[in-house]
């Protein structure tokens, strides 16, 4: 649906051990797999945990007028299916922090994001209804009014490239 060629999407798995406060670009090792996926590794032995991050570079900034709203919807459905997906300006991101013994299972779970998402009409309807409700509530709030006024100026040429809600075309 959203990603036509998920195996060619740019990915970044960051293997870190806990929080990383300072590192240089030379510390990150990037590998390109045969299928075009990029694997980035950042080692940090200061903690016993492993942080895995899957970034699919498709966010609000790549939406078009025709596709606006699908990225947040896809993130919501993916989060329901696999847990913890969120859409940002530049990427759809899933993060797991696990013990070393759980890395393989976490990678298997994250790889589920690369397969076509299978949802029922009911799940899709519930997700759309929840998004409509959130957009309506947001529009009625003071924060929604202020942010929409700002977004209307900042994104006047391309109003669909904003995070605040779902572009109405998605609901038609």
pLDDT exceeds cutoff 50 at 11: no
pLDDT of residue 72: 81
Average pLDDT, the chain: 75
More confidently predicted of 70 and 97: 97
Distance between CA atoms of residues 80 and 72, nearest Å: 12
Q: At what angle do helices 142-154 and 121-140 cross, to 10 degrees?
A: 90
Query: 26: how many CB neighbours lie within 10 A of its CB?
Result: 6
Collapsing DSSP states into helix, strand and coil, what is residue 155? coil
Question: What is the band of 121 on the pLDDT scale with cuts at 50, 70, 90?
Answer: very high
pTM of the model: 0.62
- Which H/E stretch holds residue 79? helix 70-82
Q: Is 5 left (phi over 0), alpha (psi -120 to 50) or beta?
A: beta
Q: What is the pLDDT of residues 12-67, one digit of tens each?
A: 333 333 344 466 777 788 888 787 777 788 877 777 888 888 888 777 777 787 77
pLDDT exceeds cutoff 70 at 154: yes
pLDDT exceeds cutoff 90 at 85: no
pLDDT of residue 101: 92
pLDDT of residue 167: 52
Q: According to DSSP H, which parts of 97-167 are helical?
A: 103-111, 121-140, 142-154
pLDDT of residue 54: 84
Distance between CA atoms of residues 102 and 115, nearest Å: 21
- Tell me which residue of 83, 97, 77 sits closest to 17, measured CA to CA: 97
Q: Is 18 left (phi over 0), alpha (psi -120 to 50) or beta?
A: left
pLDDT exceeds cutoff 70 at 7: no
Give residues with Cβ within 8 angstroms of 33, minimum separation 6.
39
pLDDT of residue 3: 41
pLDDT exceeds cutoff 70 at 99: yes
């Amino acid at each position: 649906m959203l990603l036509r060629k998920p195996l060619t999407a740019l990915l970044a798995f960051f293997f870190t051990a806990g929080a990383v406060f300072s590192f240089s670009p030379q510390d990150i090792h990037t590998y390109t797999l045969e299928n075009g996926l990029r694997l980035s590794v950042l080692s940090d032995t200061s903690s016993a945990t492993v942080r895995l991050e899957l970034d699919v570079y498709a966010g609000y900034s790549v939406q078009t007028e025709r596709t606006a709203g699908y990225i947040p919807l896809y993130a919501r459905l993916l989060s329901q299916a696999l847990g913890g997906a969120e859409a940002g300006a530049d990427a759809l991101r899933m993060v797991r922090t696990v013990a070393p013994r759980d890395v393989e299972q976490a990678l298997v779970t994250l790889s589920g994001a690369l397969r076509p998402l299978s949802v029922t009409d009911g799940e899709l309807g519930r997700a759309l209804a929840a998004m409509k409700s959130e957009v309506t509530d947001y529009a009625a709030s003071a924060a929604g009014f202020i942010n929409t006024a700002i977004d209307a100026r900042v994104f006047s040429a391309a109003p669909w490239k904003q995070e605040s809600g779902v572009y109405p075309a998605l609901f038609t």
